[in-house]
């Protein structure tokens, strides 16, 4: 690959070394010393060309990267198809510049005018509403990127521009991931202070989840500066390569100075965002993260129920739930905070119980109840009911009723009993005959006993 000084020399002599037909006749922006003005990234140099009042960003790599052509052709075609306003259309030109006798590939795109993120924040530190509007726009951008399955891969203050209309634009597309690239080797892992530690500590593949951590860090920083502009000077933001957080803070966030500053003098929203950041850092991998805007929508209780609403004391009941968009879930009656948003558990209630689940999120709090009715375990002291002979008749003496106050009923074919109008006390009960006539209803021994007692005047 060419060295930087050779690239600068080639750009300084475009009439001889530029090999892109569409840019022939362009001029390069220069510094006061007469040398080409450029930005230097980790892998490339970016120059500003101008042709017929149109400004172009012209990028040349000074570090060798594999499969550049195929990779950037895929990215270019995908971004053009999605038509998102956050990206500038760019064109990959093979052999675009002759550097020290060797033709190298280049990329050109329309130059995006505006302020880099830090410059915009510093200019508007005392305009709280403007910073809150920026935070809202940033959140909307994150959501759009996720819906369109695009990860920038290196979100940080140097790659975010706010144009003259207040719109967010993204630059530097070396690290972009789209579905066709996901799983390939990752070219860029981003700046420290914006990345989850696990992304920096191992060789990773390109992932659509690469932005989740940096999105939260940037959003949280903007909201914090809107609430407390003094943080800008307290943490030397202008001179640093981060916003409010650096990679050392992520080692033990709750003990860091920035955490202590924010947790003690900030709104509930910032405190919740800090909780999400801690939750992110507790994950084993940045690939386990969910987009932080999921936490910002109101929580939803998809279901909270029991498989049996009426049981006998001590019988097993399964309590199950599914919750979305909650950072904290709690169930009463001794269960406390719940880790899993989708789960179930067996319970053995001994009395009527109301179970209540509560889900909290930045977007609010919701709760729902489910009820289990519990009957005591039945105790039968004595019940002796021989199977009657259904052929014709049976004797009352064959039925033991103990005691009359116990109302015992059983589902049997209906019996029709013909009891004489007057039954002499001298006639033994076992002489009373009962006629069986099936009618399929409920037979109640206690009522029968009472009828016989009254008629016999016992």
The predicted-structure confidence for 301-354, as pLDDT tens digits, reads as follows 999 999 999 999 989 999 999 998 787 899 998 888 888 889 999 999 999 999
Q: What angle do CA 211, 217, 222 make, to 5 degrees?
A: 120
pLDDT at residue 122, as a whole number:
97
Fold of 4-110: Phosphorylase Kinase; domain 1 (3.30.200)
Q: How far apart are CA 409 and CA 63, in angstroms?
A: 91
Radius of gyration of the CA atoms of the chain, in A: 39
Q: How far apart are CA 384 and CA 399, in angstroms?
A: 7
Helix (H, G, I), strand (E, B), or coil: what is residue 152? coil
Domain 115-294 in CATH 1.10.510.10? The answer is yes
pLDDT at residue 421, as a whole number:
46
Residues 6+ apart with CB under 8 A from 306: 317, 318, 319, 320, 355, 370, 372
Cis upstream peptide for 403 (omega within 30°): yes
On the CB side of 292, CA atoms within 13 Å amount to 29
Fold of 300-375: Immunoglobulin-like (2.60.40)
Contact indicator for 322, 299 with CB cutoff of 8 Å: no
Report domain extents, the chain. 4-110, 115-294, 300-375, 393-456
- pTM to 2 decimal places: 0.66
Residues in the chain where the model's pLDDT stays below 70: 42, 65-66, 202, 362-363, 379-458
**pLDDT, averaged across the chain:** 84
């Amino acid at each position: 690959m060419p060295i930087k000084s050779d690239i600068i020399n080639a750009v300084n002599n475009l009439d001889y070394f530029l090999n892109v037909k569409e840019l022939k006749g362009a001029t390069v922006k220069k510094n006061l010393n007469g040398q080409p003005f450029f930005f230097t990234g980790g892998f490339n140099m970016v120059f500003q060309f101008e042709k017929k009042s149109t400004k172009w960003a012209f990028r040349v790599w000074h570090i060798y990267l594999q499969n550049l052509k195929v990779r950037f052709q895929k990215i270019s075609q995908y971004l053009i198809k999605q038509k998102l306003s956050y990206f500038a259309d760019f064109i990959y030109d093979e052999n675009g510049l002759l550097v020290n006798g060797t033709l190298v590939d280049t990329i050109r795109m329309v130059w995006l005018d505006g302020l880099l993120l830090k410059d915009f924040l510093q200019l508007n530190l005392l305009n709280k509403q403007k910073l809150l509007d920026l935070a809202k726009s940033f959140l909307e951008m994150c959501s759009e990127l996720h819906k369109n399955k695009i990860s920038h891969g290196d979100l940080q203050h140097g790659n975010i521009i706010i144009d003259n209309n207040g719109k967010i634009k993204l630059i530097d597309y070396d690290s972009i991931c789209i579905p066709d690239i996901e799983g390939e080797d990752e070219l860029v892992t981003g700046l420290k202070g914006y990345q989850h530690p696990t992304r920096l500590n191992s060789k990773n593949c390109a992932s659509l989840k690469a932005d989740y951590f940096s999105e939260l860090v940037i959003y949280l920083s903007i909201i914090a500066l809107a609430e407390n502009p003094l943080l800008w000077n307290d943490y030397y933001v202008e001179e640093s390569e981060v916003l409010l957080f650096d990679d050392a803070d992520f080692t033990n966030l709750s003990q860091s100075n920035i955490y202590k500053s924010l947790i003690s003098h900030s709104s509930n929203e910032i405190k919740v965002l800090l909780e999400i950041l801690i939750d992110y850092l507790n994950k084993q991998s940045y690939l386990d993260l969910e987009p932080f805007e999921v936490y910002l929508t109101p929580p939803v209780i998809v279901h909270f129920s029991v498989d049996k609403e009426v049981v006998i004391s001590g019988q097993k009941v399964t309590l199950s739930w599914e919750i979305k968009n909650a950072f904290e879930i709690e169930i009463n009656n001794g269960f406390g905070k719940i880790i899993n948003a989708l789960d179930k558990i067996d319970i053995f209630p001994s009395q009527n119980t109301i179970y209540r689940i509560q889900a909290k999120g930045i977007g609010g709090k919701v709760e729902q109840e489910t009820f289990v009715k519990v009957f005591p375990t039945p105790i039968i002291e004595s019940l002796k009911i021989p199977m009657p002979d259904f052929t014709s008749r049976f004797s009352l003496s064959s039925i033991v009723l103990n005691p009359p106050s116990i109302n015992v009923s059983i589902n049997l074919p209906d019996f029709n009993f013909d009891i004489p109008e007057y039954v002499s006390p001298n006639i033994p009960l076992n002489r009373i005959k009962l006629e069986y006539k099936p009618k399929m209803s409920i037979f109640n021994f206690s009522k029968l006993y009472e009828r016989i007692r009254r008629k016999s005047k016992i």
